[in-house]
Amino acid sequence: MKANNITWHEGKVTKDQRQKLNKHLSATLWFTGLSGSGKSTISVELEKKLHELGVRTYRLDGDNVRHGLNHDLGFSDEDRLENIRRIGEVSRLFVDAGVLTLTAFISPFRKDRDQVRSLFAEGEFIEIHVKASIEACEARDPKGLYKQARKGQIKDFTGIHSPYEEPYTAEIILDTEKNSVDESVDQIISYLKKNHYLSI
């Protein structure tokens, strides 16, 4: 049952003040794409590069979060919705803390991603479509998940049993069938610099 006796308690340090202390803006970089498209790999390398540049970051990865915060969720449409809702709220907290937040989740449904976007102020949600065909992702199959899904060992698997809805208006599109990880990282950093998230 939802509590109705709660009140927001304002602090005395604002998001703007935290951003000024950090010397960069905060936002959520929301990586979305099929399993095997390169979301986690690119986000790991991007975080490393940003850290080297002195940017305060935190990375939320789909599998990692399911070890703790979302350990009670499966992969039904309802559980996927709750998974994304929770991550959206956590991401919003990190952005309020002045941190550039990287989230790598399949997040297959547009309405769920749009719901997360609605939590943020203009410019604080950067959707990154990590684009690769189902054929390319299945050929990579780094975790062996497609093979298991084809054998019926995994149900509700995105791209096989469950649809993936590509973004209509992603801020960044990374074509990982054409570009390397380093090229994808450089593309994101160029976007962040051009749009004044970074002052470096």
Is 38 among the annotated ligand-binding positions? yes
Residue 30 contacts residue 116 (beta carbons within 8 Å): yes
Nearest to 159 by CA among 70, 75, 78, 88: 75
Per DSSP, which regions of 62-168 are E strands?
Answer: 100-104, 125-131
Is 192 among the annotated ligand-binding positions? no
Is 151 among the annotated ligand-binding positions? no
Is 33 among the annotated ligand-binding positions? yes
The single residue of 107, 133, 180, 184 carrying the catalytic annotation is: 107
Is 35 among the annotated ligand-binding positions? yes
Q: Are β-strands 125-131 and 172-175 bridged in parallel, bridged antiparallel, or unpaired?
A: parallel
Query: What gap in Å lies between CA 74 and CA 96, rounded to an integer?
Result: 29
* Residue in the structure block whose two tokens are 């099929």: 34
Is 40 among the annotated ligand-binding positions? yes
Q: Catalytic site residue 107?
A: yes
Side-chain-side CA neighbours of 155 within 13 Å: the count stands at 4
Is 199 among the annotated ligand-binding positions? no
* Residue in the structure block whose two tokens are 């992603």: 170
Give counts: helices (H), strands (E), the chain. 8, 5
Is 36 among the annotated ligand-binding positions? yes
Residue numbers in the known binding site are: 33-40
Binding residues for ATP: 33-40
Which residues belong to the active site? 107
